[in-house]
Structure 1
Amino acid sequence: MSYPPDPNNPYGQKQPQGYGYPQQPQPQPAGYGYPQPPQPQPAAYGYPPVGQGYGFQPAVPQSMPGLVLTTRVLLFVIGGVQVILTGILLLVAATAKHEANTRHGDTAVFGNAAAGVLLVLGIVYLLASVLSITLGAKFGKGGPATRITTLVYGCISLLLGLLVLISGLSQSSTSNPGGPFGLIIGALWIGIAILWIVAMSTRDGVAWFNRPRY
């Protein structure tokens, strides 16, 4: 005689699934009448996937690049030297004017002319010093206008340095004591001007002055 299995017996056999027994729920396959899970849409031909651009955005520099910082320091140094030269030229011009007022004839005419030339040079150096110091001060928050102005300033300085170098060469050929000094000043000024131009033309320099400002 067989006995029905005890439902409270944990060691009893599992009830087979078949006719008269409840079936376990089976996962329904996706098909007609059933919603399908969302599928990622492929990117269309010739277009980048959603959320991606055509390329990486250029990195925004967090600190001033080395060449730009060097240019800024040189602008401050050159501005200070130009202020000193302005003072010297104006002092010499005042002295020449005073001497011309105490003389007569050709000496007075020459003294007045020399005083006028020195006064003009002093004003030019004063304006150049203001420009140099102003540009250096704007390197921290300045934009493309600051970069372009510094680039133009460097090109003009390069031309002036070439003129001084040519003048020094001509004076050296005539055994003029001022020739070597002109060569040194001209070569130094050309080197500084080239550094300014390179710093304002490199990718890091352009990115620094084109960075967003908040």
Structure 2
Amino acid sequence: MSFGDPNNPYGPPPQQPQQQGPGYGYPQQTPPQQPGYGYPSAPPLGQQGYGQGYGQPGYGGYPGGPLTMPGNVKAARVMLFVIAGFQMIGAVLIGLSAIAIKAAKNDEELKNDVDFQQLADFSSGALWAITAVVVAWGVLAIVLGAKFGSGGSGVRITTMVFAIITAVLGVYPFVIVGLVHTVLAVLVAVFVGKSDGAAWFNRSKYPAAHM
């Protein structure tokens, strides 16, 4: 009986080929995991907010605010400078009025008029005081407008208070001459008070934002 015959039913069972395991030093590769259906992968924390006008990453992954000054805020700053210009023009006119009253006091025909002299003294002093207030109000408008590029929420709140007071003074007592001030001041308060204005003044200041 020959065990070499492959057709012999009494022969030893045929040997099965051995499966080769992974060679040493060659780890098995696992297939890449696919994201679940309907759930797109989230971007890294540092990249959140890009492409929506809030490209400056803030601390903790939150957006730091707009990189450029919004159009409404730019318009509000220009209006502040316009208000300051009107303030300076008004200060010059009021100062000229005070000078004219002082010149009238020295008129030969009015020197003996006691009532006029008293009224002239009061009017001249009041006009110079008003001139100083008008100039100071115009300087404040310029300072606030200049702070729009680097100021924070404090500048925003101060600007809104300034605009509200200016609008009220434009209605009373300076009804006619203050009408332009009222319109401009209302627009300043609205533009600065909007959400994009809040985002600009509350933005992260590091690095410094572009104007």
Please give the range of the TM-score, normalised by the shorter of the 2 chains.
0.5 to 0.7
Q: Which runs of 5+ in 1 are unaligned?
A: 1-17, 28-36, 41-48, 169-181
8 A Cα contact 2:80 2:141, kept in partner: yes
**Are positions 1:129 and 2:138 aligned together?**
yes
Structure 2 equivalent of residue 213 of structure 1:
205
SS at match of 1:62: coil
1:94 to 91, 99, 102: 99
**1:127 Cα shift?**
0.7
**Are positions 1:25 and 2:17 aligned together?**
no
**Are positions 1:196 and 2:192 aligned together?**
no
Structure 2 equivalent of residue 172 of structure 1:
none
The 5 A counterparts of 1:103-182 are 103-104=111-112, 105-164=114-173, 182=176
SS at match of 2:180: helix
8 A Cα contact 1:100 1:109, kept in partner: no
Structure 2 equivalent of residue 65 of structure 1:
70
Amino acid across the alignment from 2:203 = R
Measured in 2, the distance between the counterparts of 1:82 and 1:159 equals 15
RMSD of aligned Cα (Å): 3.2
- Relative to 1, partners in 2 of residues 1:86 and 1:19: Cα closer, same or farther, differing over 3 Å? same
Which range moves more in the overlay, 132-141 or 152-161?
152-161
Amino acid across the alignment from 1:117 = A
8 A Cα contact 2:64 2:204, kept in partner: no
Instruction: With the length of structure 1 as denominator, give the TM-score of the two structures.
Output: 0.64
- Relative to 1, partners in 2 of residues 1:203 and 1:59: Cα closer, same or farther, differing over 3 Å? farther
- Relative to 1, partners in 2 of residues 1:147 and 1:80: Cα closer, same or farther, differing over 3 Å? same
8 A Cα contact 2:171 2:178, kept in partner: yes
Instruction: With the length of structure 2 as denominator, give the TM-score of the two structures.
Output: 0.65
8 A Cα contact 1:61 1:211, kept in partner: yes
2:84 to 64, 75, 79: 79
- Relative to 1, partners in 2 of residues 1:162 and 1:87: Cα closer, same or farther, differing over 3 Å? closer
Residues matched between the structures, number: 162
- Higher relative contact order structure (alpha carbons within 8 Å, sequence separation ≥ 6): 2
**1:161 Cα shift?**
2.5
Structure 1 equivalent of residue 52 of structure 2:
none
